[in-house]
Amino acid sequence: MNNQELLYKKIVVKVGTNVITDKHGDLDLDILKKLTTQIALLQKEGVQIILVSSGAVGAGRSIVKLPETLSPVATRQVLAATGQIKLINTYNTLFLEQGLVSAQILVTKSDFRDRQHYLNMRTCFTSLLQQHIIPVVNENDAVSVTELMFTDNDELSGLIASMMHVEGYIILSHVDGLFDLKNGTGKLITEIDPATKHFNQHIIPGKSEFGRGGMLTKCHIAHKLSQLGVTVHIANGKTPGILLSLLRGEKAGTKFLARKKPVLGPKLWVAHSEGLEKGAVIVNEGAEKVLSDSDRANSLLPVGIDSVQGTFKKGDIIKILGINKKVIGYGMAQYGSEKTRTLMGQQDQKPLIHYDYLYITH
């Protein structure tokens, strides 16, 4: 294989529970071996790879039998805590067979809560990749509960993909990609333009057994990442040689084309900060219009703020609500809620959110 022929130099690969486990939670060693062999081949060609793998809860199911009386939260915690060991041991053994060292990184949403934590996380991944070690990532399900949880590992891996500025983000599912299911032809959609927004029309709501997300979350994340400048593939992880095919540019699965103008720097962190906000501001019509204009680089000034919700301080993430109270974006506050309340409505004041730290969602 010639590195020149490969599409990407740095990728995140996310693999779902249903790809690597059967319904009893037993890990499919054949699939895992094929997956790790492909990763090793790519790594030897100079591709940097971060693997995000689900399957801890599934694997836990094959280890412990829990009483039905145990709460769903406790059940998930016990299954994940026991299953993660089996999962990571299996990866470790398989990567060692390929002459590769792997590392385990377990994260919660709050590990990305402020810019410093986010940068610490990035340094950790960068250092592992520099040492040619394969990071194997999962959510720390034993401790992340309810509001601290990622929607699923698709969301988590999307965050890592943008944080690490990868060129390609590959979601390996147990289906071939996005099919035109609801009203359409039932055919696989091979390419999606970054301007496309209405995935719901193709998707049947719900999720597969044992999975957490579903196709709708996958498409939301894929679309968001494509907007941020990353090419995303949703493909079938059980298809032999799928990773190699995708990196060689062969047609497989659904490809979300990347927007030409990538989003860089602190904006990327802000783009993934939904759920971490400490407060909110409601902006007036003029401000909403100016901020939503993607051709202009505008900061949020106090003159455009109508009201302030909650308590936040300098450096906190806040939500920006439009006149109809719908979320229009997120940003990092340059000063606290108290000062914002005194300055709002006033002309010629320092921006509450600087453009570089502002992410508009539509």
Ligand X SMILES: Nc1ncnc2c1ncn2[C@@H]1O[C@H](COP(=O)(O)OP(=O)(O)O)[C@@H](O)[C@H]1O
Ligand Y SMILES: N[C@@H](CCC(=O)OP(=O)(O)O)C(=O)O
Q: Which residues bind ligand Y (CB under 6 A)?
A: 16-17, 54-58, 80, 138-139, 141, 152-153, 211-213
Among 13, 39, 78, 203, which residue sits at the site for ligand X (rule: CB under 6 A)?
Answer: 203
Considering CB distances under 5 to 8 angstroms, the limit depending on partner class, which of ligand X, ligand Y, none binds residue 178? ligand X
Q: Which is nearer to ligand X, 207 or 354 (CB)?
A: 207
Q: How many CA atoms lie within 13 A of 210 on its CB side?
A: 24
**What do you get for the CA distance between the two ends of the chain, in Å?**
41
| Contact indicator for 234, 217 with CB cutoff of 8 Å | no
Contact set for ligand X, span 165-184 (CB under 6 A): 173-175, 178-179, 181
CB of 204 to ligand X, least distance (A): 4
Contact set for ligand X, span 109-168 (CB under 6 A): none
Q: Which is nearer to ligand Y, 256 or 312 (CB)?
A: 256
Q: What is the number of helices (H) and of strands (E) in the chain?
A: 11, 13
C-alpha–C-alpha distance, residues 230 and 264, integer Å = 11
DSSP annotation of 188 reads B
Q: Which is nearer to ligand X, 210 or 355 (CB)?
A: 210
C-alpha–C-alpha distance, residues 40 and 48, integer Å = 10
CB of 312 to ligand X, least distance (A): 34
Nearest to 31 by CA among 253, 214, 242: 242
Among 12, 18, 272, 301, which residue sits at the site for ligand X (rule: CB under 6 A)?
Answer: 18
Considering CB distances under 5 to 8 angstroms, the limit depending on partner class, which of ligand Y, ligand X, none binds residue 56? ligand Y
- Going along the chain, which residue ranges are E strands? 10-15, 48-53, 102-107, 134-139, 168-173, 191-192, 231-236, 254-256, 279-283, 305-310, 317-321, 327-332, 358-360
- Known binding residue 14? Answer is yes
Query: What is the contact surface with ligand X in residues (CB under 6 A)?
Result: 16-19, 173-175, 178-179, 181, 202-204, 207-208, 211, 213-215, 218
Binding-site residues for ATP: 14
